[in-house]
Amino acid sequence: MAVVSFVVFSLLYLTPGDPAAIIAGDVATDEDIRRIHARLGLDEPFLVQFGRWLWALLHGDLGTSIFTNLPVTQLIGQRVEPTVALTLCTLVVAIVVAIPLGVIAAAKAGSWLDRAVMSFSVLGFSVPVFVLAYILILTFSVQLDWLPVQGYRNFRDGAWEWLRHLILPSIALGTVYVALIARMTRASMLDVLSQDYIRTAAAKGLAPQQVLIGHALKNAAIPVVTIIGVGIALLISGAIVTETVFALPGIGRLTVDAILRRDYPVIQGVILIFSAVYVLINLAVDLSYVLFDPRIRY
């Protein structure tokens, strides 16, 4: 995290762009910009700026947005719920759809069903999120008027309203992960299904579903869980496009807006949070191996 902090701060320092010029607006003069520089401490040397930011960080203070004057923690706090909700819903969509598809494709390897699943996977990989998003909006929001075009409702405003606003974004964002997880599940299942113990289980007279779910899927789970873990990390970055198209006030959009405006404290805060989340997800994935394979001990 310390390395990330330093690298991020250095990159921002080197990146062209000046928040003072953006704050001052189109009509500003050099003098206006210089005054804002001084007020924000942007005219100080790199190490002084970095030292001040690090000291505040060590005291739990991520700083204040240069533009809104709101604490970075508050800005991030406002945006956490939509991003977490979108990520969770997408994950649910991805897992609920992809794993059965992968299992079925593996069980019926070579059949038309297998080919259909694989074709869907290729399509899922190939169609950009924003294209799918526009198609979904046009069909389900504008033409059928079933679901909202944009926006987010808090869970506390009602579970159905909350869910309605997440269905299309989750499908748009989730399709690529459905494709990814379905392919991985199929490959992993095919590998496991060729093992001797599966043949033994079938020879003992177990029902095919029991062999598939109880024996094969469980043993095929570790690579699938790994890819889901990596997928969550990717989801966070994929959420930026989805949040922009569906106007969801999430952390992805906060990041893009902050970068476009050179709102340094917000960028630094968000990237730190992202790195922490990545670390935690990887930890969670590693810990989850224990659930699927009792032989693994930490």
Residues engaged in binding another protein (CB under 8 A): 16-18, 21-33, 35-36, 39, 65, 67-70, 75, 78-79, 81, 84, 134, 137-138, 141-142, 145, 148-151, 154-157, 244-247, 249, 253-254, 257, 260-262, 287-288, 290-291, 294
Distance of CA 291 to the CA centre of its chain: 24
| Residue-by-residue DSSP string for 63-78 | -B-TTT--BHHHHHHH
CB closer to another protein, 6 vs 146:
146
Shortest Å, Cβ 65 to another protein: 7
CB closer to another protein, 6 vs 134:
134
CB closer to another protein, 58 vs 144:
144
CB closer to another protein, 162 vs 177:
162
Shortest Å, Cβ 50 to another protein: 20
Shortest Å, Cβ 117 to another protein: 30
Shortest Å, Cβ 97 to another protein: 21
DSSP classification of residue 156: G
The alpha helices in 145-250, defined as continuous H runs, are 159-193, 196-203, 208-209, 218-245
CB closer to another protein, 38 vs 207:
38
The residue assigned the tokens 């789970």 is 221
CB closer to another protein, 207 vs 290:
290
How many whole angstroms separate alpha carbon 166 and alpha carbon 87? 10
Shortest Å, Cβ 208 to another protein: 27
CB 180 within 8 A of CB 125: yes
Shortest Å, Cβ 280 to another protein: 11
Shortest Å, Cβ 277 to another protein: 14
Which among 106, 112, 123, 287 is positioned nearest to 188, based on CA atoms? 106
How many whole angstroms separate alpha carbon 48 and alpha carbon 68? 23
Q: Residues with Cβ < 8 Å from 174, sequence gap 6 or more? A: 89, 90, 91, 93, 94, 97
CB closer to another protein, 44 vs 191:
44
Please report, for residues 92, 117, 184, 225, 246, the alpha-carbon distance to residue 212 in angstroms, rounded to integers and kept in the order given.
21, 18, 16, 17, 38
